[in-house]
Amino acid sequence: MSQRVKIKQILLSDKANYEVTVKGWVRTFRNNQFIALNDGSTNSNLQVVVDFENTDPLLLKRITTGAAIGVTGEVIPSLGKGQKVEIKAKHMEIYGDSDPEAYPLQPKKHSLEFLREIAHLRFRTNTFGAVFRVRHALAFAVHKFFNDKGFVYLHTPIITASDAEGAGEMFRVTTLDMKKPPLTPEGEIDYKEDFFGRSTNLTVSGQLEGELGAMAFGEIYTFGPTFRAENSNTARHLAEFWMIEPEMAFYDLKDNMDLAEEFIQYVIRYVLENNREDLEFLAQRLAEEEKQKPQAERSELGLIEKLEFVLNNQFERISYTEAIEILKNSKPNKNKKFQYPVEDWGTDLQSEHERYLVEKHFKKPVILTDYPAAIKSFYMKQNEDGKTVRAMDILFPGIGEIVGGSQREENYDKLVGRMKELHIPVEELYWYLDTRRFGTCPHAGFGLGFERLVLFVTGMTNIRDVIPFPRTPKNAEF
């Protein structure tokens, strides 16, 4: 048998008249003659031409949609349209049969909702093949970007005793017997008896530990799974999602925004340059979906134009206070079209407000800064005005918030003061506060929700379709 070659490699070159072995899964088998074979290396199938008159009929019967096969044969120029080369089968082997009656993936268009129910098989479709190759490329680009800049990839813990965001949306981790937990004299569950000798949870963010790393390496990033038990059943929220969190010593808020913008543009450019075929497939898919919508709701730009637009235009930077003024005076606010009317300074922005700013008012990504302290986390640097903090959120069209970050409060007394106001346990976080006691310095960082980035880049509209196995309220299948 000749060496196994990936289909992508065969289709990339014009070379013909050489023998190869390919292995993959049958997408279709037409006229007992033409197999469309896919091995996951590319969205394109390789056409395998079978000499059915000289092939064992029992073998032919086993070539069905979904079956895993190997083919050895000669690569020859193709006469049919759609491909430059095809392969003339000389020897075929079936590794795994696939009963066409039972196999859920038929060679036809399936709805995304249906495919979500068979997420264990959906990688084998064109759409999810493209989405997850792009997801992979984005992840690789994330590491390349930070590595090339000299950032250290720091693995922060998954199991922790702290609530980094102070929002209380944590999944508890315990080995206690839930039916008969040990109790304290006061009748509370006694977590001293638990595995770690204390109460622990899955991390909501690696930031606090990331800050410790930044205070030694200067610049670090994390890229790992994070968990939030927020009961938001939306197309933008997952209970388990991946987050990238860079943290940089000697950066102020502006440096932080500059880095975030450069970073997002870098990873988008990377996939435009390296995943063109998949992006073009996804662009076409999106264009077809858009055609179903009424004219007024269709987006002005196609997927690729939208990605290029982000590369070629600076993000708009405005303060929360300016945003509130724009929103207050906006048409939908005056015409009472917002579900949550914008009246007072200090209220949190709802996604309808974020989308108005990005999609209608500025028509480009927007960085909002200097939010009211009351609606942001304890660790953010307090501004002189005594009301706002040096926070920044990046808002994207069709997505809403894609990045949340800030300059950090590096002053020990101010930080402890804020923690006390918010009833955050100062003693437990002694290790975090030590960075402010020993060689503190201005520093900043942000968190980018990886799935929201993948949503934007692939043009998919539901976050459940850009992570292999989504975890959402009442759903942990697979």
The binding site for ligand 4AD (CB under 6 A) comprises: 164-165, 205, 207, 228, 230, 237-238, 241, 243, 245, 401-405, 445-447, 449, 451-452
Q: Which is nearer to Mg ion, 74 or 230 (CB)?
A: 230
Centroid of chain to Cα 345: 32
Q: Which is nearer to ligand 4AD, 48 or 238 (CB)?
A: 238
Choose among ligand 4AD, Mg ion, none what residue 65 binds, the Cβ cut-off being 5 to 8 Å by kind. Answer: none
Query: Are residues 82 and 40 in contact, defined by beta-carbon separation less than 8 angstroms?
Result: no
**224 scored as a contact of Mg ion (CB under 5 A):** no
Q: Which is nearer to Mg ion, 133 or 237 (CB)?
A: 237
Residue 226's Cβ-count burial label (10 Å; 0-12, 13-18, 19+) is buried
In the complex, the smallest distance separating the C-beta of residue 249 from ligand 4AD, rounded to whole angstroms, is 14
In the complex, the smallest distance separating the C-beta of residue 403 from Mg ion, rounded to whole angstroms, is 8
If we measure between CA atoms, which residue out of 364, 411, 341 comes closest to residue 383?
411
If we measure between CA atoms, which residue out of 77, 60, 58, 97 comes closest to residue 15?
77
Choose one: 40-48, 307-315, 369-377, 397-405; the region binding Mg ion (CB under 5 A).
397-405
In the complex, the smallest distance separating the C-beta of residue 207 from Mg ion, rounded to whole angstroms, is 11
Q: Which is nearer to Mg ion, 224 or 404 (CB)?
A: 404
Output the CA–CA distances (angstroms, integers) from residue 53 to 12, 35, 49, 59, 351, in the order listed.
Answer: 31, 15, 12, 12, 62
SS3 category, 55: coil
Choose among ligand 4AD, Mg ion, none what residue 190 binds, the Cβ cut-off being 5 to 8 Å by kind. Answer: none
In the complex, the smallest distance separating the C-beta of residue 449 from Mg ion, rounded to whole angstroms, is 9
Q: Which is nearer to ligand 4AD, 193 or 401 (CB)?
A: 401
Residue nearest Mg ion by beta-carbon distance? 404
- Integer Cα distance of 369 and 366 in angstroms: 10
Q: Which is nearer to ligand 4AD, 447 or 459 (CB)?
A: 447
Q: Which is nearer to ligand 4AD, 397 or 447 (CB)?
A: 447
- Integer Cα distance of 432 and 206 in angstroms: 12
Choose among ligand 4AD, Mg ion, none what residue 452 binds, the Cβ cut-off being 5 to 8 Å by kind. Answer: ligand 4AD
In the complex, the smallest distance separating the C-beta of residue 318 from ligand 4AD, rounded to whole angstroms, is 17
In the complex, the smallest distance separating the C-beta of residue 229 from ligand 4AD, rounded to whole angstroms, is 9
In the complex, the smallest distance separating the C-beta of residue 168 from ligand 4AD, rounded to whole angstroms, is 13
Query: Are residues 224 and 243 in contact, defined by beta-carbon separation less than 8 angstroms?
Result: yes
Q: Which is nearer to ligand 4AD, 69 or 267 (CB)?
A: 267
Q: Which residue of 404, 449, 459, 470 would you call a contact of Mg ion, by CB under 5 A?
A: 404
Query: Are residues 259 and 248 in contact, defined by beta-carbon separation less than 8 angstroms?
Result: yes
DSSP 307: H
DSSP 472: B
If we measure between CA atoms, which residue out of 378, 406, 311 comes closest to residue 162?
378
Taking the CA of residue 406 as centre, how many other CA atoms within 13 Å lie in the half-sphere pointing to its CB?
A: 22
In the complex, the smallest distance separating the C-beta of residue 359 from Mg ion, rounded to whole angstroms, is 19
Residue 155's Cβ-count burial label (10 Å; 0-12, 13-18, 19+) is exposed
Query: Are residues 367 and 391 in contact, defined by beta-carbon separation less than 8 angstroms?
Result: no
Q: Which residues bind Mg ion (CB under 5 A)?
A: 404
